[in-house]
A and B are shown apart, each in its own frame.
Chain A
Protein backbone atom coordinates (compact mmCIF):
# COMPACT_ATOMS: atom_id res chain seq x y z
CA UNK A 1 0.00 0.00 0.00
CA UNK A 2 1.44 3.35 -0.97
CA UNK A 3 1.79 6.29 1.34
CA UNK A 4 -0.33 9.39 0.88
CA UNK A 5 1.11 12.56 2.38
CA UNK A 6 -0.69 15.93 2.55
CA UNK A 7 0.96 19.08 3.87
CA UNK A 8 -0.75 22.22 5.12
CA UNK A 9 0.73 25.29 6.79
CA UNK A 10 -1.17 27.50 9.18
CA UNK A 11 0.29 30.28 11.39
CA UNK A 12 3.78 28.93 10.81
CA UNK A 13 2.68 25.50 12.03
CA UNK A 14 3.04 22.61 9.60
CA UNK A 15 0.47 19.81 9.53
CA UNK A 16 1.56 16.63 7.78
CA UNK A 17 -1.29 14.21 7.24
CA UNK A 18 -0.13 10.67 6.52
CA UNK A 19 -2.26 7.81 5.20
CA UNK A 20 -1.29 4.22 4.44
CA UNK A 21 1.51 1.96 5.70
CA UNK A 22 4.84 3.37 6.84
CA UNK A 23 7.43 0.67 6.22
CA UNK A 24 11.04 0.23 5.13
CA UNK A 25 10.13 1.14 1.58
CA UNK A 26 7.71 4.02 2.11
CA UNK A 27 9.31 5.73 5.12
CA UNK A 28 11.97 7.50 2.98
CA UNK A 29 9.06 9.33 1.28
CA UNK A 30 7.82 10.62 4.62
CA UNK A 31 11.35 11.68 5.53
CA UNK A 32 11.71 13.59 2.25
CA UNK A 33 8.59 15.59 3.14
CA UNK A 34 9.66 16.22 6.73
CA UNK A 35 13.28 17.21 6.20
CA UNK A 36 12.76 20.61 4.51
CA UNK A 37 10.79 21.86 7.52
CA UNK A 38 13.69 21.08 9.85
CA UNK A 39 15.61 23.77 7.97
CA UNK A 40 12.80 26.34 8.06
CA UNK A 41 11.86 28.52 10.97
CA UNK A 42 8.53 26.82 11.73
CA UNK A 43 6.95 26.93 15.19
CA UNK A 44 6.00 23.33 15.15
CA UNK A 45 5.21 20.23 13.12
CA UNK A 46 2.08 18.16 13.65
CA UNK A 47 2.09 14.68 12.15
CA UNK A 48 -1.43 13.30 11.77
CA UNK A 49 -1.31 9.51 11.87
CA UNK A 50 -5.01 8.62 12.07
CA UNK A 51 -4.90 7.17 8.57
CA UNK A 52 -1.80 5.05 9.20
CA UNK A 53 -2.67 1.36 9.44
CA UNK A 54 0.89 0.09 9.97
CA UNK A 55 4.22 1.51 11.05
CA UNK A 56 7.50 -0.37 11.38
CA UNK A 57 10.87 0.52 12.92
CA UNK A 58 11.86 2.72 10.00
CA UNK A 59 8.68 4.78 10.47
CA UNK A 60 9.42 5.22 14.15
CA UNK A 61 13.04 6.07 13.41
CA UNK A 62 11.88 8.71 10.91
CA UNK A 63 9.67 10.28 13.58
CA UNK A 64 12.59 10.14 16.03
CA UNK A 65 14.44 12.43 13.62
CA UNK A 66 11.59 14.93 14.08
CA UNK A 67 11.89 14.54 17.81
CA UNK A 68 15.65 15.20 17.62
CA UNK A 69 14.94 18.37 15.63
CA UNK A 70 12.35 19.58 18.13
CA UNK A 71 14.69 19.10 21.10
CA UNK A 72 17.63 20.71 19.34
CA UNK A 73 15.67 23.72 18.08
CA UNK A 74 13.21 23.92 21.00
CA UNK A 75 10.24 23.54 18.63
CA UNK A 76 7.10 21.42 18.79
CA UNK A 77 6.86 18.02 17.14
CA UNK A 78 3.48 16.46 17.90
CA UNK A 79 1.92 13.19 16.82
CA UNK A 80 -1.86 12.91 16.60
CA UNK A 81 -4.54 10.31 15.92
CA UNK A 82 -2.51 7.26 16.88
CA UNK A 83 -4.36 3.99 16.32
CA UNK A 84 -3.59 0.89 18.36
CA UNK A 85 -1.11 -0.51 15.82
CA UNK A 86 0.95 2.66 15.68
CA UNK A 87 0.79 3.12 19.45
CA UNK A 88 1.94 -0.47 20.00
CA UNK A 89 4.85 0.08 17.63
CA UNK A 90 5.91 3.08 19.72
CA UNK A 91 5.48 1.26 23.01
CA UNK A 92 7.54 -1.74 21.81
CA UNK A 93 10.44 0.60 21.29
CA UNK A 94 9.73 2.27 24.66
CA UNK A 95 9.06 5.63 23.00
CA UNK A 96 5.37 6.14 23.77
CA UNK A 97 6.21 8.58 26.57
CA UNK A 98 9.00 10.34 24.72
CA UNK A 99 6.86 11.85 21.97
CA UNK A 100 4.20 14.49 22.56
CA UNK A 101 0.98 12.75 21.54
CA UNK A 102 -2.39 14.47 21.15
CA UNK A 103 -5.76 13.16 20.10
CA UNK A 104 -6.14 15.40 17.04
CA UNK A 105 -4.69 18.39 15.20
CA UNK A 106 -6.93 20.87 17.09
CA UNK A 107 -5.47 19.78 20.41
CA UNK A 108 -1.98 19.91 18.94
CA UNK A 109 -2.58 23.47 17.70
CA UNK A 110 -3.77 24.48 21.18
CA UNK A 111 -0.62 22.97 22.70
CA UNK A 112 1.62 24.97 20.38
CA UNK A 113 -0.43 28.16 20.75
CA UNK A 114 -0.25 28.06 24.54
CA UNK A 115 3.13 29.79 24.44
Chain B
Protein backbone atom coordinates (compact mmCIF):
# COMPACT_ATOMS: atom_id res chain seq x y z
CA UNK B 1 0.00 0.00 0.00
CA UNK B 2 2.68 2.52 1.08
CA UNK B 3 6.36 2.00 0.47
CA UNK B 4 9.10 4.35 1.62
CA UNK B 5 12.40 4.13 -0.27
CA UNK B 6 15.75 5.66 0.65
CA UNK B 7 14.10 8.63 2.31
CA UNK B 8 16.47 11.38 3.42
CA UNK B 9 15.49 14.58 5.22
CA UNK B 10 17.84 16.92 7.02
CA UNK B 11 17.41 20.19 8.88
CA UNK B 12 20.83 21.80 8.89
CA UNK B 13 23.10 19.34 10.65
CA UNK B 14 20.20 17.30 12.05
CA UNK B 15 19.33 14.18 10.08
CA UNK B 16 15.61 13.55 10.65
CA UNK B 17 15.31 10.71 8.12
CA UNK B 18 18.51 8.82 7.39
CA UNK B 19 17.94 6.80 4.23
CA UNK B 20 14.76 5.17 5.52
CA UNK B 21 13.19 2.13 3.88
CA UNK B 22 9.94 0.66 5.15
CA UNK B 23 6.65 -0.79 4.01
CA UNK B 24 3.17 -0.18 5.39
CA UNK B 25 0.93 -3.11 4.61
CA UNK B 26 -2.64 -2.77 3.43
CA UNK B 27 -5.21 -3.30 6.19
CA UNK B 28 -2.60 -3.47 8.96
CA UNK B 29 -1.77 -1.20 11.89
CA UNK B 30 1.84 -0.05 11.84
CA UNK B 31 3.06 1.93 14.84
CA UNK B 32 6.11 4.17 14.44
CA UNK B 33 7.69 4.42 17.88
CA UNK B 34 10.47 6.68 19.01
CA UNK B 35 11.45 9.32 21.51
CA UNK B 36 11.13 13.06 21.01
CA UNK B 37 13.25 14.18 18.09
CA UNK B 38 13.61 10.69 16.65
CA UNK B 39 12.07 11.72 13.33
CA UNK B 40 8.61 10.14 13.71
CA UNK B 41 6.55 13.19 12.83
CA UNK B 42 8.94 14.15 10.02
CA UNK B 43 8.44 10.70 8.52
CA UNK B 44 4.67 11.05 8.84
CA UNK B 45 4.70 14.47 7.16
CA UNK B 46 6.73 13.08 4.27
CA UNK B 47 4.45 10.06 3.84
CA UNK B 48 1.40 12.32 3.69
CA UNK B 49 3.09 14.65 1.21
CA UNK B 50 2.99 17.57 3.65
CA UNK B 51 6.77 17.84 3.47
CA UNK B 52 9.19 17.00 0.66
CA UNK B 53 12.19 14.81 1.43
CA UNK B 54 15.68 15.84 0.30
CA UNK B 55 15.75 12.58 -1.66
CA UNK B 56 13.96 9.24 -1.83
CA UNK B 57 10.47 8.13 -2.70
CA UNK B 58 7.09 7.51 -1.04
CA UNK B 59 4.94 5.19 -3.14
CA UNK B 60 1.21 5.36 -2.39
CA UNK B 61 -1.01 3.12 -4.54
CA UNK B 62 1.66 3.10 -7.22
CA UNK B 63 2.26 6.87 -7.26
CA UNK B 64 5.43 8.53 -5.94
CA UNK B 65 4.07 11.33 -3.75
CA UNK B 66 7.43 13.10 -3.57
CA UNK B 67 7.42 14.09 -7.22
CA UNK B 68 3.80 14.05 -8.25
CA UNK B 69 1.88 17.14 -9.37
CA UNK B 70 -0.40 18.98 -6.94
CA UNK B 71 -3.61 17.71 -8.54
CA UNK B 72 -2.64 14.03 -8.21
CA UNK B 73 -1.42 14.60 -4.65
CA UNK B 74 -4.74 16.27 -3.83
CA UNK B 75 -6.63 13.28 -5.29
CA UNK B 76 -4.56 10.83 -3.24
CA UNK B 77 -5.10 12.89 -0.10
CA UNK B 78 -8.84 12.29 -0.46
CA UNK B 79 -8.04 8.67 0.32
CA UNK B 80 -6.17 9.66 3.50
CA UNK B 81 -7.58 10.55 6.90
CA UNK B 82 -5.52 12.26 9.56
CA UNK B 83 -5.97 12.46 13.30
CA UNK B 84 -3.78 15.36 14.37
CA UNK B 85 -2.02 15.41 17.71
CA UNK B 86 -4.21 18.19 19.09
CA UNK B 87 -7.17 16.89 17.02
CA UNK B 88 -7.16 20.28 15.22
CA UNK B 89 -10.89 20.85 15.54
CA UNK B 90 -12.21 24.24 14.46
CA UNK B 91 -13.10 26.04 17.68
CA UNK B 92 -15.74 28.19 16.00
CA UNK B 93 -17.67 25.21 14.58
CA UNK B 94 -19.81 22.77 16.55
CA UNK B 95 -19.10 19.04 16.50
CA UNK B 96 -21.48 18.37 13.63
CA UNK B 97 -19.90 21.02 11.41
CA UNK B 98 -16.39 19.93 12.34
CA UNK B 99 -17.10 16.40 11.15
CA UNK B 100 -19.06 17.56 8.11
CA UNK B 101 -16.28 19.95 7.07
CA UNK B 102 -14.33 17.61 4.69
CA UNK B 103 -17.58 16.56 2.99
CA UNK B 104 -18.61 20.16 2.41
CA UNK B 105 -15.10 21.02 1.23
CA UNK B 106 -14.40 18.10 -1.13
CA UNK B 107 -17.75 16.77 -2.35
CA UNK B 108 -21.11 17.98 -3.64
CA UNK B 109 -23.04 15.78 -1.24
CA UNK B 110 -26.40 17.23 -0.16
CA UNK B 111 -27.07 18.40 3.40
CA UNK B 112 -29.51 15.56 4.13
CA UNK B 113 -26.94 12.96 3.14
CA UNK B 114 -24.19 14.74 5.09
CA UNK B 115 -26.40 14.65 8.17
CA UNK B 116 -26.78 10.86 7.87
CA UNK B 117 -23.05 10.33 7.28
CA UNK B 118 -22.11 12.44 10.33
CA UNK B 119 -24.62 10.52 12.46
CA UNK B 120 -23.12 7.20 11.29
CA UNK B 121 -19.58 8.35 12.10
CA UNK B 122 -20.56 9.70 15.52
CA UNK B 123 -22.20 6.33 16.24
CA UNK B 124 -18.92 4.61 15.34
CA UNK B 125 -16.97 6.69 17.88
CA UNK B 126 -19.74 6.50 20.49
CA UNK B 127 -20.58 10.21 20.48
CA UNK B 128 -24.02 10.41 18.89
CA UNK B 129 -25.92 13.20 20.64
CA UNK B 130 -22.99 15.60 20.88
CA UNK B 131 -23.56 17.22 17.47
CA UNK B 132 -24.54 20.60 18.92
CA UNK B 133 -21.63 20.89 21.37
CA UNK B 134 -18.63 23.14 20.79
CA UNK B 135 -15.06 21.74 20.97
CA UNK B 136 -14.42 23.73 24.17
CA UNK B 137 -17.15 21.70 25.90
CA UNK B 138 -15.43 18.36 25.28
CA UNK B 139 -12.96 16.37 27.40
CA UNK B 140 -9.58 15.41 25.91
CA UNK B 141 -10.76 11.88 25.09
CA UNK B 142 -13.97 13.11 23.47
CA UNK B 143 -12.00 15.65 21.42
CA UNK B 144 -9.83 12.83 20.05
CA UNK B 145 -12.91 10.78 19.20
CA UNK B 146 -14.46 13.71 17.33
CA UNK B 147 -11.13 14.14 15.51
CA UNK B 148 -11.33 10.46 14.64
CA UNK B 149 -14.90 10.78 13.36
CA UNK B 150 -13.73 13.62 11.12
CA UNK B 151 -10.73 11.56 9.97
CA UNK B 152 -13.02 8.75 8.77
CA UNK B 153 -15.85 10.88 7.38
CA UNK B 154 -14.57 10.56 3.79
CA UNK B 155 -14.11 6.78 4.17
CA UNK B 156 -10.31 6.91 3.74
CA UNK B 157 -8.20 3.93 2.74
CA UNK B 158 -5.43 5.04 5.09
CA UNK B 159 -5.57 6.82 8.42
CA UNK B 160 -2.58 8.56 9.95
CA UNK B 161 -2.66 9.02 13.70
CA UNK B 162 -0.23 11.53 15.21
CA UNK B 163 0.19 10.71 18.92
CA UNK B 164 -3.45 9.63 19.32
CA UNK B 165 -3.20 8.91 23.05
CA UNK B 166 -0.91 11.68 24.24
CA UNK B 167 -2.30 13.54 27.23
CA UNK B 168 -5.15 11.09 27.79
CA UNK B 169 -6.06 9.22 30.99
CA UNK B 170 -5.75 5.40 30.91
CA UNK B 171 -9.43 4.78 30.22
CA UNK B 172 -9.59 7.31 27.38
CA UNK B 173 -6.38 5.77 26.02
CA UNK B 174 -8.03 2.34 26.10
CA UNK B 175 -11.10 3.71 24.30
CA UNK B 176 -8.97 5.28 21.54
CA UNK B 177 -6.90 2.09 21.19
CA UNK B 178 -10.06 0.03 20.81
CA UNK B 179 -11.44 2.46 18.23
CA UNK B 180 -8.23 2.34 16.17
CA UNK B 181 -8.31 -1.45 16.29
CA UNK B 182 -12.05 -1.68 15.50
CA UNK B 183 -11.86 0.75 12.58
CA UNK B 184 -8.91 -1.13 11.21
CA UNK B 185 -10.58 -4.52 11.46
CA UNK B 186 -14.10 -3.53 10.42
CA UNK B 187 -13.26 -1.11 7.63
CA UNK B 188 -9.98 -2.77 6.61
CA UNK B 189 -8.29 0.62 6.85
CA UNK B 190 -4.52 0.79 6.67
CA UNK B 191 -3.43 2.57 9.84
CA UNK B 192 -0.15 4.34 10.51
CA UNK B 193 0.26 5.48 14.09
CA UNK B 194 3.04 7.73 15.37
CA UNK B 195 3.44 7.29 19.10
CA UNK B 196 5.73 7.06 22.07
CA UNK B 197 3.11 5.26 24.15
CA UNK B 198 4.61 1.77 24.51
CA UNK B 199 1.60 0.10 26.19
CA UNK B 200 -0.81 1.49 23.63
CA UNK B 201 1.51 0.43 20.81
CA UNK B 202 1.72 -3.14 22.07
CA UNK B 203 -2.09 -3.30 22.31
CA UNK B 204 -2.83 -2.22 18.74
CA UNK B 205 0.18 -2.84 16.49
CA UNK B 206 0.46 -5.50 13.81
CA UNK B 207 3.91 -4.12 13.09
CA UNK B 208 6.22 -1.81 15.01
CA UNK B 209 8.96 0.42 13.62
CA UNK B 210 11.31 2.05 16.10
CA UNK B 211 13.15 5.22 15.09
CA UNK B 212 16.24 6.62 16.77
CA UNK B 213 17.67 9.91 15.55
CA UNK B 214 16.42 9.36 12.02
CA UNK B 215 17.37 5.67 11.75
CA UNK B 216 15.15 2.61 11.92
CA UNK B 217 16.73 0.59 14.70
CA UNK B 218 14.11 -2.15 14.81
CA UNK B 219 11.00 -3.36 13.04
CA UNK B 220 8.80 -6.38 13.48
CA UNK B 221 5.80 -7.75 15.30
CA UNK B 222 5.09 -6.78 18.90
CA UNK B 223 6.56 -10.09 20.05
CA UNK B 224 9.71 -9.58 17.99
CA UNK B 225 10.19 -6.10 19.45
CA UNK B 226 9.58 -7.31 23.00
CA UNK B 227 12.20 -10.03 22.63
CA UNK B 228 14.71 -7.90 20.69
CA UNK B 229 18.24 -8.12 22.04
CA UNK B 230 19.07 -4.62 20.79
CA UNK B 231 20.00 -2.57 23.86
CA UNK B 232 18.50 0.64 22.46
CA UNK B 233 15.20 -1.14 21.82
CA UNK B 234 15.15 -2.62 25.31
CA UNK B 235 15.99 0.74 26.90
CA UNK B 236 13.22 2.43 24.94
CA UNK B 237 10.46 -0.08 25.58
CA UNK B 238 11.36 -0.37 29.28
CA UNK B 239 11.73 3.40 29.65
CA UNK B 240 15.10 3.12 31.34
CA UNK B 241 16.92 6.43 31.94
CA UNK B 242 20.38 4.84 31.57
CA UNK B 243 21.54 3.06 28.44
CA UNK B 244 22.81 3.56 24.91
CA UNK B 245 20.17 6.21 24.19
CA UNK B 246 21.63 9.35 25.75
CA UNK B 247 19.50 11.83 27.69
CA UNK B 248 21.40 14.76 26.18
CA UNK B 249 21.73 15.32 22.44
CA UNK B 250 25.17 16.90 22.44
CA UNK B 251 28.52 15.10 22.57
CA UNK B 252 30.22 18.16 24.02
CA UNK B 253 31.60 17.88 27.52
CA UNK B 254 29.34 19.71 30.00
CA UNK B 255 32.14 21.36 32.01
CA UNK B 256 33.95 22.39 28.85
CA UNK B 257 30.73 23.89 27.59
CA UNK B 258 30.29 25.87 30.82
CA UNK B 259 33.87 27.11 30.74
CA UNK B 260 33.74 28.19 27.12
CA UNK B 261 34.34 31.88 26.81
B187 at the interface (CB under 8 A from A): yes
A31 to B78, CA, bound (A): 21
Would A28 and B110 count as touching, CB distance under 8 A? yes
Would B113 and A58 count as touching, CB distance under 8 A? yes
B 103-125 binary contact with A (CB < 8 Å = 1; else 0) = 10011111011101100110100
B155 at the interface (CB under 8 A from A): yes
How large, as a class, is the contact surface on chain A?
Answer: 10 to 19
A56 to B152, CA, bound (A): 11
Would A28 and B108 count as touching, CB distance under 8 A? yes
Would B113 and A31 count as touching, CB distance under 8 A? yes
B 76-108 binary contact with A (CB < 8 Å = 1; else 0) = 001000000000000000000000000100111
A31 to B121, CA, bound (A): 20
Would B120 and A57 count as touching, CB distance under 8 A? yes
Would B120 and A24 count as touching, CB distance under 8 A? no
Chain B positions 225-243 with a Cβ under 8 Å from a chain A Cβ: none
A8 at the interface (CB under 8 A from B): no
Q: For B78, what are the chain A residues with a Cβ–Cβ distance below 8 Å? A: 24
Would A24 and B107 count as touching, CB distance under 8 A? yes
Would B187 and A58 count as touching, CB distance under 8 A? no
CB within 8 A of A24: which of B106, B116, B123?
Answer: B106
Chain A positions 40-94 with a Cβ under 8 Å from a chain B Cβ: 56-58, 60-62, 64-65, 92-94
Would B106 and A93 count as touching, CB distance under 8 A? no
A31 to B107, CA, bound (A): 14
The dominant DSSP class at the B interface is: helix
A92 to B107, CA, bound (A): 22
CB within 8 A of A25: which of B107, B114, B116, B186?
Answer: B107
Q: For B121, what are the chain A residues with a Cβ–Cβ distance below 8 Å? A: 57
B154 at the interface (CB under 8 A from A): yes
How large, as a class, is the contact surface on chain B?
Answer: 20 to 34
Complex: chain A residue closest to B188, CB-CB: A88
A56 to B121, CA, bound (A): 12
Would A27 and B155 count as touching, CB distance under 8 A? no
Would A58 and B186 count as touching, CB distance under 8 A? no
Given A57-B155, A92-B186, A92-B187, do A28 and B109 touch, yes or no (CB 8 Å)? yes
Chain B positions 151-189 with a Cβ under 8 Å from a chain A Cβ: 153-155, 186-187
Would B117 and A58 count as touching, CB distance under 8 A? yes
Given A28-B108, A92-B186, do A61 and B155 touch, yes or no (CB 8 Å)? no
A62 to B153, CA, bound (A): 15
Q: For B108, what are the chain A residues with a Cβ–Cβ distance below 8 Å? A: 28
Would A62 and B187 count as touching, CB distance under 8 A? no
Q: For B153, what are the chain A residues with a Cβ–Cβ distance below 8 Å? A: 57
**Chain A: residues with CB nearer than 8 A to chain B?**
23-25, 27-28, 31, 56-58, 60-62, 64-65, 92-94
Given contacts A57-B153, A58-B155, A61-B113, 8 further A-B contacts (CB under 8 A): A24-B154, A27-B109, A27-B113, A28-B108, A31-B113, A61-B109, A65-B112, A93-B123
21 A–B contact pairs at CB < 8 A?
A24-B78, A24-B103, A24-B106, A24-B109, A24-B155, A27-B109, A28-B107, A28-B108, A28-B109, A28-B113, A31-B110, A56-B155, A57-B117, A57-B121, A57-B153, A58-B113, A58-B155, A61-B114, A61-B116, A61-B120, A64-B116
Closest 10 CB pairs of A and B: A61-B116, A56-B155, A61-B113, A61-B117, A64-B116, A24-B107, A57-B117, A93-B120, A57-B155, A28-B108
